[in-house]
Amino acid sequence: MSRITITGRGEPILINYTEETSLLDAMIGQGIYLSADCAGRGTCGKCKLQLLEGELEITSFDRNKLTEQELEQGYRLACKAYPKKDCIIRLVSGRETDFKIITEHRQESIGYGKADEDYAVAVDIGTTTIATSLVGLESKKIRLTDSAINRQRAYGTDVVSRIKASNDGKRELLRISIQDDLLELIRRILHEAEIPKNRLKRIVIAGNTTMGHLLLGYSCQGLGSYPFTPVNISTLTLPYEEVMGSDYLSIPVTILPGISAYVGGDIVAGLLACDFDQAKVS
Protein backbone atom coordinates (compact mmCIF):
# COMPACT_ATOMS: atom_id res chain seq x y z
CA MET A 1 0.00 0.00 0.00
CA SER A 2 1.30 3.44 -0.95
CA ARG A 3 0.76 6.76 0.78
CA ILE A 4 -0.30 9.64 -1.44
CA THR A 5 -0.03 13.24 -0.27
CA ILE A 6 -2.41 15.57 -2.09
CA THR A 7 -1.68 19.30 -2.16
CA GLY A 8 -3.06 22.33 -3.94
CA ARG A 9 -6.38 22.74 -2.13
CA GLY A 10 -5.77 23.99 1.39
CA GLU A 11 -4.13 21.68 3.91
CA PRO A 12 -2.35 18.60 2.47
CA ILE A 13 -4.43 15.43 2.51
CA LEU A 14 -2.86 12.01 3.07
CA ILE A 15 -4.57 8.94 1.62
CA ASN A 16 -3.64 5.27 1.63
CA TYR A 17 -3.62 3.85 -1.87
CA THR A 18 -3.79 0.38 -3.41
CA GLU A 19 -2.50 -0.24 -6.94
CA GLU A 20 -5.79 -1.70 -8.16
CA THR A 21 -7.43 1.74 -8.02
CA SER A 22 -6.72 4.78 -10.17
CA LEU A 23 -5.72 7.97 -8.40
CA LEU A 24 -9.01 9.52 -9.55
CA ASP A 25 -11.07 6.80 -7.87
CA ALA A 26 -8.91 6.92 -4.75
CA MET A 27 -9.47 10.66 -4.43
CA ILE A 28 -13.21 10.35 -5.00
CA GLY A 29 -13.28 7.81 -2.19
CA GLN A 30 -11.83 10.51 0.07
CA GLY A 31 -14.34 13.15 -1.04
CA ILE A 32 -11.96 14.89 -3.47
CA TYR A 33 -13.84 15.37 -6.73
CA LEU A 34 -12.20 16.32 -10.02
CA SER A 35 -13.89 16.95 -13.34
CA ALA A 36 -13.90 13.73 -15.33
CA ASP A 37 -16.40 14.23 -18.12
CA CYS A 38 -15.28 11.01 -19.83
CA ALA A 39 -15.95 8.95 -16.68
CA GLY A 40 -12.31 7.97 -16.30
CA ARG A 41 -11.70 6.73 -19.85
CA GLY A 42 -8.78 9.12 -20.36
CA THR A 43 -10.36 10.96 -23.29
CA CYS A 44 -11.39 14.35 -21.86
CA GLY A 45 -8.11 15.38 -20.21
CA LYS A 46 -9.84 17.28 -17.40
CA CYS A 47 -8.53 15.34 -14.39
CA LYS A 48 -5.01 16.68 -14.77
CA LEU A 49 -2.67 16.74 -11.76
CA GLN A 50 1.03 17.38 -11.20
CA LEU A 51 3.51 14.94 -9.68
CA LEU A 52 5.81 16.77 -7.25
CA GLU A 53 7.65 13.79 -5.73
CA GLY A 54 7.70 10.10 -6.59
CA GLU A 55 7.03 8.28 -9.84
CA LEU A 56 4.03 8.04 -12.15
CA GLU A 57 4.32 6.21 -15.43
CA ILE A 58 3.54 8.24 -18.55
CA THR A 59 0.68 6.51 -20.35
CA SER A 60 -0.52 6.74 -23.93
CA PHE A 61 -3.52 8.68 -22.62
CA ASP A 62 -1.16 11.23 -21.04
CA ARG A 63 0.68 11.63 -24.34
CA ASN A 64 -2.57 12.13 -26.23
CA LYS A 65 -3.90 14.84 -23.89
CA LEU A 66 -0.81 16.59 -22.49
CA THR A 67 2.03 18.50 -24.14
CA GLU A 68 5.64 17.38 -23.94
CA GLN A 69 6.34 20.33 -21.66
CA GLU A 70 3.52 19.29 -19.33
CA LEU A 71 4.79 15.72 -19.23
CA GLU A 72 8.30 16.93 -18.37
CA GLN A 73 6.81 19.05 -15.58
CA GLY A 74 5.13 15.98 -14.09
CA TYR A 75 1.57 16.44 -15.28
CA ARG A 76 -0.53 13.27 -15.56
CA LEU A 77 -4.19 12.26 -15.90
CA ALA A 78 -5.55 11.12 -12.54
CA CYS A 79 -7.86 8.56 -14.13
CA LYS A 80 -4.90 6.71 -15.66
CA ALA A 81 -2.41 7.18 -12.82
CA TYR A 82 -1.52 4.11 -10.72
CA PRO A 83 1.33 4.94 -8.30
CA LYS A 84 3.55 2.07 -7.23
CA LYS A 85 5.28 4.02 -4.44
CA ASP A 86 4.62 6.93 -2.11
CA CYS A 87 4.25 10.21 -3.94
CA ILE A 88 3.20 13.83 -3.56
CA ILE A 89 0.83 15.36 -6.09
CA ARG A 90 -0.70 18.78 -6.65
CA LEU A 91 -4.26 19.26 -7.86
CA VAL A 92 -4.46 21.68 -10.75
CA SER A 93 -7.86 21.01 -12.32
CA GLY A 94 -11.16 22.37 -10.98
CA ARG A 95 -12.35 20.73 -7.78
CA GLU A 96 -16.03 19.86 -7.75
CA THR A 97 -16.38 20.23 -3.99
CA ASP A 98 -16.49 24.02 -4.31
CA PHE A 99 -20.18 24.82 -4.50
CA LYS A 100 -19.46 28.49 -5.16
CA ILE A 101 -18.32 27.63 -8.69
CA ILE A 102 -21.76 28.64 -9.95
CA THR A 103 -23.82 29.59 -6.95
CA GLU A 104 -22.21 32.97 -6.38
CA HIS A 105 -24.22 34.06 -9.39
CA ARG A 106 -27.19 31.75 -9.11
CA GLN A 107 -28.53 32.34 -5.63
CA GLU A 108 -31.54 34.63 -5.86
CA SER A 109 -34.26 35.94 -3.58
CA ILE A 110 -37.49 36.08 -5.55
CA GLY A 111 -40.30 36.89 -3.12
CA TYR A 112 -41.37 36.79 0.48
CA GLY A 113 -44.38 35.07 1.96
CA LYS A 114 -45.75 35.40 5.45
CA ALA A 115 -43.17 35.86 8.18
CA ASP A 116 -44.38 32.89 10.21
CA GLU A 117 -45.26 30.36 7.52
CA ASP A 118 -43.83 26.89 7.00
CA TYR A 119 -41.80 25.91 3.97
CA ALA A 120 -40.95 23.15 1.53
CA VAL A 121 -37.85 22.73 -0.60
CA ALA A 122 -38.30 21.77 -4.24
CA VAL A 123 -35.28 20.03 -5.78
CA ASP A 124 -34.38 19.38 -9.40
CA ILE A 125 -31.53 16.88 -9.65
CA GLY A 126 -29.94 17.36 -13.05
CA THR A 127 -27.10 15.31 -14.43
CA THR A 128 -24.66 18.21 -14.08
CA THR A 129 -26.50 20.72 -11.85
CA ILE A 130 -28.78 20.56 -8.80
CA ALA A 131 -31.33 23.36 -8.32
CA THR A 132 -33.35 24.11 -5.18
CA SER A 133 -36.21 26.48 -4.35
CA LEU A 134 -37.50 27.38 -0.88
CA VAL A 135 -41.29 27.72 -1.20
CA GLY A 136 -43.82 29.04 1.32
CA LEU A 137 -46.51 26.41 1.87
CA GLU A 138 -49.26 28.97 2.52
CA SER A 139 -48.23 31.86 0.28
CA LYS A 140 -46.99 29.54 -2.53
CA LYS A 141 -44.21 32.08 -3.10
CA ILE A 142 -40.58 31.21 -3.73
CA ARG A 143 -38.47 32.67 -0.96
CA LEU A 144 -35.04 31.76 -2.32
CA THR A 145 -33.43 29.72 -5.07
CA ASP A 146 -29.99 28.14 -5.16
CA SER A 147 -28.01 25.73 -7.31
CA ALA A 148 -24.75 23.82 -7.35
CA ILE A 149 -22.73 21.48 -9.48
CA ASN A 150 -23.67 17.81 -9.17
CA ARG A 151 -20.40 16.28 -7.99
CA GLN A 152 -21.33 13.00 -9.63
CA ARG A 153 -19.74 14.67 -12.66
CA ALA A 154 -16.55 13.04 -11.44
CA TYR A 155 -18.06 9.82 -12.86
CA GLY A 156 -18.97 11.40 -16.23
CA THR A 157 -21.36 14.11 -17.39
CA ASP A 158 -24.03 11.92 -18.99
CA VAL A 159 -26.46 9.36 -17.60
CA VAL A 160 -24.91 6.50 -19.56
CA SER A 161 -21.58 7.09 -17.78
CA ARG A 162 -23.35 7.20 -14.41
CA ILE A 163 -25.21 3.96 -15.15
CA LYS A 164 -21.94 2.27 -16.11
CA ALA A 165 -20.20 3.56 -12.98
CA SER A 166 -23.03 2.27 -10.80
CA ASN A 167 -22.98 -1.11 -12.50
CA ASP A 168 -19.18 -1.26 -12.12
CA GLY A 169 -19.44 -1.26 -8.33
CA LYS A 170 -19.65 2.47 -7.55
CA ARG A 171 -23.34 2.57 -6.69
CA GLU A 172 -22.83 3.52 -3.04
CA LEU A 173 -20.22 6.18 -3.86
CA LEU A 174 -22.63 7.77 -6.32
CA ARG A 175 -25.39 7.72 -3.73
CA ILE A 176 -23.25 9.30 -1.04
CA SER A 177 -22.14 11.99 -3.49
CA ILE A 178 -25.68 13.16 -4.29
CA GLN A 179 -26.79 12.86 -0.66
CA ASP A 180 -23.91 15.10 0.43
CA ASP A 181 -24.74 17.65 -2.28
CA LEU A 182 -28.40 17.79 -1.28
CA LEU A 183 -27.65 18.14 2.42
CA GLU A 184 -25.24 21.00 1.73
CA LEU A 185 -27.79 22.82 -0.44
CA ILE A 186 -30.65 22.36 2.04
CA ARG A 187 -28.55 23.62 4.93
CA ARG A 188 -27.37 26.58 2.92
CA ILE A 189 -30.74 27.69 1.61
CA LEU A 190 -32.20 27.60 5.13
CA HIS A 191 -29.24 29.59 6.44
CA GLU A 192 -29.42 32.22 3.69
CA ALA A 193 -33.18 32.62 4.15
CA GLU A 194 -32.77 32.72 7.95
CA ILE A 195 -35.37 29.97 8.32
CA PRO A 196 -35.01 27.55 11.27
CA LYS A 197 -35.01 23.95 10.14
CA ASN A 198 -38.16 23.16 12.16
CA ARG A 199 -40.09 25.37 9.72
CA LEU A 200 -39.15 23.11 6.83
CA LYS A 201 -41.96 20.56 6.51
CA ARG A 202 -41.37 18.73 3.24
CA ILE A 203 -38.88 18.13 0.44
CA VAL A 204 -40.02 17.31 -3.09
CA ILE A 205 -37.51 15.96 -5.60
CA ALA A 206 -37.69 15.71 -9.38
CA GLY A 207 -35.00 14.30 -11.62
CA ASN A 208 -34.39 11.96 -14.50
CA THR A 209 -34.88 8.29 -13.78
CA THR A 210 -31.16 7.58 -13.44
CA MET A 211 -30.67 10.36 -10.88
CA GLY A 212 -33.60 8.98 -8.88
CA HIS A 213 -32.14 5.48 -8.91
CA LEU A 214 -28.74 6.74 -7.77
CA LEU A 215 -30.24 8.78 -4.94
CA LEU A 216 -32.27 5.84 -3.65
CA GLY A 217 -29.47 3.31 -4.07
CA TYR A 218 -31.33 1.26 -6.68
CA SER A 219 -29.54 -1.00 -9.13
CA CYS A 220 -29.07 0.63 -12.53
CA GLN A 221 -28.67 -2.69 -14.36
CA GLY A 222 -32.12 -2.40 -15.93
CA LEU A 223 -31.49 1.15 -17.16
CA GLY A 224 -28.44 0.26 -19.20
CA SER A 225 -29.74 -2.51 -21.41
CA TYR A 226 -32.86 -3.53 -23.31
CA PRO A 227 -35.74 -3.53 -22.42
CA PHE A 228 -34.59 -0.63 -20.15
CA THR A 229 -36.64 -1.51 -17.09
CA PRO A 230 -36.40 0.81 -14.06
CA VAL A 231 -36.69 -0.50 -10.51
CA ASN A 232 -39.39 2.05 -9.72
CA ILE A 233 -40.91 5.12 -11.39
CA SER A 234 -43.94 5.55 -9.12
CA THR A 235 -44.37 8.39 -6.64
CA LEU A 236 -42.55 7.71 -3.38
CA THR A 237 -42.85 9.48 -0.05
CA LEU A 238 -40.18 8.32 2.37
CA PRO A 239 -38.62 9.49 5.64
CA TYR A 240 -35.83 12.04 5.22
CA GLU A 241 -33.26 9.76 6.85
CA GLU A 242 -34.02 6.90 4.46
CA VAL A 243 -33.51 9.07 1.39
CA MET A 244 -30.69 11.31 2.56
CA GLY A 245 -28.77 9.00 4.89
CA SER A 246 -28.78 11.72 7.56
CA ASP A 247 -30.79 12.59 10.65
CA TYR A 248 -30.51 16.34 10.03
CA LEU A 249 -34.29 16.54 9.49
CA SER A 250 -37.34 14.43 10.35
CA ILE A 251 -39.68 15.27 7.49
CA PRO A 252 -41.14 13.43 4.49
CA VAL A 253 -39.34 13.45 1.16
CA THR A 254 -41.43 12.93 -1.97
CA ILE A 255 -39.85 11.64 -5.19
CA LEU A 256 -41.96 12.61 -8.19
CA PRO A 257 -42.97 9.83 -10.61
CA GLY A 258 -41.43 9.17 -13.98
CA ILE A 259 -42.81 7.64 -17.16
CA SER A 260 -40.02 5.33 -18.30
CA ALA A 261 -36.30 4.66 -17.98
CA TYR A 262 -35.49 7.79 -19.95
CA VAL A 263 -38.49 10.01 -19.19
CA GLY A 264 -38.25 10.91 -15.53
CA GLY A 265 -39.86 13.00 -12.85
CA ASP A 266 -38.22 16.18 -14.12
CA ILE A 267 -40.16 15.91 -17.38
CA VAL A 268 -43.36 15.04 -15.53
CA ALA A 269 -42.92 18.07 -13.27
CA GLY A 270 -42.39 20.30 -16.29
CA LEU A 271 -45.51 18.99 -17.98
CA LEU A 272 -47.58 19.65 -14.87
CA ALA A 273 -46.09 23.13 -14.45
CA CYS A 274 -47.23 24.12 -17.93
CA ASP A 275 -50.71 22.59 -17.40
CA PHE A 276 -50.13 19.96 -20.05
CA ASP A 277 -52.78 17.80 -18.41
CA GLN A 278 -55.30 20.56 -19.12
CA ALA A 279 -54.28 21.09 -22.72
CA LYS A 280 -56.94 20.58 -25.35
CA VAL A 281 -56.05 18.48 -28.36
CA SER A 282 -57.63 19.72 -31.57
The better pLDDT of the pair 254, 100 is held by 254
Q: Which tens digit of pLDDT belongs to each residue from 122-173?
A: 999 999 999 999 999 999 999 999 999 999 988 988 999 999 999 999 999 9
Higher pLDDT, 62 or 9: 62
* pLDDT above 70 (res 110): no
- Using alpha carbons, list the distances in angstroms from residue 251 to 120, 138, 149, 197, 237: 10, 17, 25, 10, 10
**Beta-carbon contacts of residue 26 (< 8 Å; ≥ 6 apart):** 4, 15, 17, 18
Q: Check residue 106 and give its pLDDT.
A: 47
Q: What pLDDT shows up at residue 276?
A: 80
> In this model, does residue 58 exceed pLDDT 80?
yes
Contacts of range 218-227, beta carbons closer than 8 Å, 24 or more positions apart? 219/166, 219/167, 219/171, 220/162, 220/163, 220/166, 220/167, 220/171, 221/167, 222/261, 223/159, 223/163, 223/261, 224/160, 224/163, 224/164, 224/167
The residues, ordered by sequence, that sit 6+ positions from 62 with a Cβ below 8 Å of its Cβ are 71, 75, 76, 77, 80
Confidence check: pLDDT of 82 > 70 = yes
The 10s digit of each residue's pLDDT in 113-124 is 556 799 999 999
* pLDDT tens digits for range 206-217: 999 999 999 999
Q: Which of 114, 118, 176, 188 is CA-nearest to residue 147? A: 188
Query: Which domains does the chain possess?
Result: 2-91 (3.10.20.30), 100-278 (3.30.420.480)
Instruction: For residue range 18-40, list pLDDT tens digits in order.
Output: 878 899 988 888 888 888 888 88
Q: Is the pLDDT of residue 12 over 70?
A: yes
3-state secondary structure of 216: helix
Provide the whole-model pTM: 0.78
Q: What is the mean pLDDT of residues 49-64?
A: 94
Gap between the Cα atoms of 133 and 118, Å rounded = 14
Give residue 16's pLDDT. Answer: 86
For 180-199, give the secondary structure using H, E and C. HHHHHHHHHHHHHHCCCHHH
